[in-house]
Amino acid sequence: MPHPKTWLKVCPQGLYCEPGGFFIDPTRAVDRAVITHAHSDHARPGHRAVLASAGTLALMRARLGEGPAGLTQQALGWGERLRMGEVTLWLEPAGHVLGSAQVAMEYRGSRAVVSGDYKRTPDPTCDPFVPIPCDVFVTEATFALPVFRHPPPDHEIARLLASRALFPERTHVVGCYALGKCQRLIALLRGAGWHEPIYLHGALAALCAVYEQQGVALGELRAATAAAKDQLKGAIVLAPPGAITDRWARRLAEPVVALASGWMRVRQRARSRGVELPLVISDHADWDELNATVDEVGAPEVWVTHGREEALIHCITQRGVRGRALRLVGYSDEDDEGLSEEAAA
Ligand SMILES: [Zn+2]
Ligand SMILES: [Zn+2]
């Protein structure tokens, strides 16, 4: 049985499956790309042929436009097997955002799984993570430090609604990344009984529409820019993180500034951004979820793509799992958790 390191290689463009002839989430334009999910650091424009879940392809078309989202696009259903070169490939949900997938590959009896970004906490806007037993598990490590333990999201939503009850005249503006976090917040609010219209910054509307087209109901959404200041009293407004404290927010009525991100665990990050109500809601696995997932897939070897690899590798090595830091460049562990300025775009 060939070890996955002989057929799944780290190249300047990213991970390359040699006997299959394709890259996974390449950071430069390539001929054949398999894309785990539509976040901008994983789904770059300009590939010739793109294979992904239907949800990811729809989000890529909305973000990048037809053409840049792949000259040819092929959708693969969950668990559907496809032969590519000498490799059998399939996708299973990663539970990160709508359409997010793990890529499973089998070559001559040897199996590798690339998780992409993932989480294990249930999310009403995407299919739940499916553990796949494998020989090599390729994992992210965005929050791979013991300090990162995400509280239950319902708990954070309850804190937001409690603040709204305490300050019923003030606008609650919540900074959130446009793809995934925004729609998850809306769904969590609906689940917690918030049935008022939710107001959106213009940058968030298009991807909400894709979610609705893909069957994720979000309730009544309105454009924040079209609303009078009086209408926004007591309203919940969602906006990109870059907008919550800038000039755009002046239209809001005495805003309570919140930000939803796994990084809100770090108080200094909240304070430095002028965030009054930090909400620790993350679309990435926390320390416990990363470790539990490594144990569950039972791989004797784990490769870490991006994030804080040292702590995770140290910890799994003590349990007899071989760890390897891939040091792939071009992935950001801050963008999709809403902290870079780029996230406002
Ligand atoms: Zn992501
Ligand atoms: Zn990522």
Does the global pTM surpass 0.75? Answer: yes
pLDDT at 338 over 70: no
Greater model confidence, 14 or 340: 14
User: Which ligand does the CA of 142 lie closest to?
Assistant: 2
Distance from the alpha carbon of residue 306 to the mean position of ligand 2, in angstroms = 7
User: Which ligand does the CA of 338 lie closest to?
Assistant: 1
Q: Rounded to whole angstroms, how far apart are CA atoms 76 and 35?
A: 11
Distance from the alpha carbon of residue 278 to the mean position of ligand 1, in angstroms = 20
Q: How many residues does the chain have?
A: 345
Beta-bridge partners for 14:
11
Distance from the alpha carbon of residue 172 to the mean position of ligand 2, in angstroms = 28
Distance from the alpha carbon of residue 231 to the mean position of ligand 1, in angstroms = 34
Nearest to 172 by CA among 270, 239, 258, 230: 258
Q: What CATH code would you report for 153-279?
A: 3.40.50.12650
Q: Rounded to whole angstroms, how far apart are CA atoms 203 and 178?
A: 7
User: Which ligand does the CA of 177 lie closest to?
Assistant: 1
Band of pLDDT at residue 342, cut at 50, 70 and 90: very low
Q: In the chain, which ranges are E strands?
A: 8-11, 14-17, 22-24, 32-34, 49-52, 72-75, 82-84, 87-93, 101-107, 110-114, 136-141, 172-175, 198-200, 221-223, 236-239, 256-260, 277-279, 301-307, 322-325
Q: What CATH code would you report for 4-147+283-332?
A: 3.60.15.10
Residue 336: both structure tokens together: 């999709």
Domain ranges in the chain are 4-147+283-332, 153-279
Q: What pLDDT, on the 0 to 100 scale, is given for residue 191?
A: 98
Distance from the alpha carbon of residue 142 to the mean position of ligand 1, in angstroms = 10
User: Which ligand does the CA of 100 lie closest to?
Assistant: 1
Q: Rounded to whole angstroms, how far apart are CA atoms 82 and 91?
A: 10
Distance from the alpha carbon of residue 84 to the mean position of ligand 2, in angstroms = 25
Beta-bridge partners for 172:
236, 256
Distance from the alpha carbon of residue 40 to the mean position of ligand 2, in angstroms = 9
Please answer whether residues 113 and 104 qualify as being in contact, where contact means their C-beta atoms are separated by less than 8 angstroms.
Answer: yes
Band of pLDDT at residue 292, cut at 50, 70 and 90: very high
Distance from the alpha carbon of residue 34 to the mean position of ligand 1, in angstroms = 15
Distance from the alpha carbon of residue 65 to the mean position of ligand 1, in angstroms = 19
What is the overall mean pLDDT for the chain? 94
Distance from the alpha carbon of residue 287 to the mean position of ligand 2, in angstroms = 16
Distance from the alpha carbon of residue 288 to the mean position of ligand 2, in angstroms = 18
pLDDT for 68-110, tens place per residue?
999 999 999 999 999 999 999 999 999 999 999 999 999 999 9
pLDDT at 183 over 90: yes
pLDDT at 139 over 70: yes
Q: What pLDDT, on the 0 to 100 scale, is given for residue 345?
A: 30
Q: Rounded to whole angstroms, how far apart are CA atoms 8 and 253?
A: 54
Q: What pLDDT, on the 0 to 100 scale, is given for residue 98?
A: 98
